[in-house]
Amino acid sequence: MARMFGTDGVRGIANKELTNQMAYRLGQAAVVFLGKTIVVGRDTRLSGDMLEAAMVAGIESAGGTALLAGVIPTPAVALLVRKLAAAGGAVISASHNPPEYNGIKLFDAKGFKLPDAMEDRIEEFVQAGGLEATEEGTPTGSDLGFTVQLNDATEIYVMHAVESVRGQGITFEGMTVAIDTGHGASSETSPEALRRLGATVHVINDDYDGCDINVQCGSTHLEPLQQLVAECKADIGIAHDGDADRVMLIAPSGAEIDGDVIEAVCALDMKERGCLANDTAVTTVMCNLGFVHAMRDAGINVVQTKVGDRYVLEEMREHGHSIGGEQSGHMILLEHNSTGDGLMTAVQFIAAVKRSGRTVDEAANVMQKFPQELINVRVQDKGAVMESVTVADAVRAAEEALGDDGRVLLRPSGTEPVVRVMVEAKDAAAAKAHAQAIADTITQ
């Protein structure tokens, strides 16, 4: 049986793969394994109401208190857990996935995602039938739990981001910022934070109907934001995914600024200010070779982990590093939050650019990218593909052809029935040709 928890919580098609019963038992598990008080937030998906109701019922049935934050970014829940001294947090979101998907991710009392060992214990509890299947059973009478509405949840999160910049003596006065919130959880928070910092803000896709989150917009579809940046002559464009734990940026020229470039700019700024712990930046094996070269040229060590912000965070916590990120726009700045935070990343990037005295386009040139080709191949059995001798031969052939001038990375998605083929090379045509050859082999 496949593991219930993927790289970013439990995820699947709502009401089919991710059921109300599962949400109910995960609510119980949150109380049993984390503690009595659980902050609950969600994104804008239509299934969010249903799954929230089921999860809250589970929390209450276990004698816990559900602190409802409503529609709010994932990093805000991590922050609220700490600010309110809660025992844990739960976010009902499928991040960048399509609207029919949903997910549940859990945070501990410090706002960190749970380690694999804890997830395994929770999975065993859920599959065994929850509290109803235990000898103690469920509480009754006055031992039942209840719900509290958090009326100031978004305000706490917005001010946390605003004060992080004001505390550096930075203002965004005179800047024009374009934002695409992807019909998602940041539709209120990110525009408000930027306005309070003094920027003139132009927003698209800040409405939602529950079925439009991430659809041809947000951090995975940057064309609408590029058009907005051009139309309003913005100094920078900001795009979030559905739960706003990641961010992608657009320069005034229309150029895409991904997580590698964002991390490079922020790491260099932190080193300049003397707050880059261990002179080290953490990233994943998916990062561009240009990032590694730029960091080494600046005297910054680079540590690479498996793909997934949880593995980046584990490395940071174990060795005391202060910045880590992924090419996809997940950025962890432990000085400010305990998980990926799209809003915090955006405002810290802008602050770094303003300190440098350069334009956004100039700042983004701190690293020169090697061409990368990424192909997502939809499959029925990820395990079979990864164990295939034929596929392994195709990968080996590409690696031998590229030599030291490139690399190949083949990995299964942690959240979708997809195998990702990434090839990096000095020559874009070579990267594309080798990636397509491997993808064709997988398809066949």
Positions marked active-site: 95
Q: Report the distance separating Cα 345 and Cα 383, nearest Å.
A: 35
Q: Report the distance separating Cα 267 and Cα 275, nearest Å.
A: 9
The pair of structure tokens assigned to 349 is 């990037």
Tell me the residue type at 60.
Answer: E
Contacts 24+ apart (CB under 8 A), 126-135: 126/4, 126/22, 126/25, 126/26, 126/29, 127/4, 129/25, 130/24, 130/25, 130/28, 130/29, 130/58, 131/28, 131/32, 131/61, 131/62
Q: Render the burial of 128-147: b for 16+ CB within 10 Å, e for the rest.
A: eebbeeeeeebeeeeeebee
> Do 239 and 184 contact (CB within 8 A), yes or no?
no
Residue in 389, 405, 380 with CA at minimum distance from that of residue 441: 389
Cα angle 48-54-56, degrees, rounded to a multiple of 5: 95
> Do 312 and 265 contact (CB within 8 A), yes or no?
no
Instruction: Please give the torsion angle defined by the CA atoms of residues 288, 294, 300 and 301, in that order, rounded to the nearest 10 degrees.
Output: 30
Q: Report the distance separating Cα 91 and Cα 414, nearest Å.
A: 18
The pair of structure tokens assigned to 231 is 């139309």
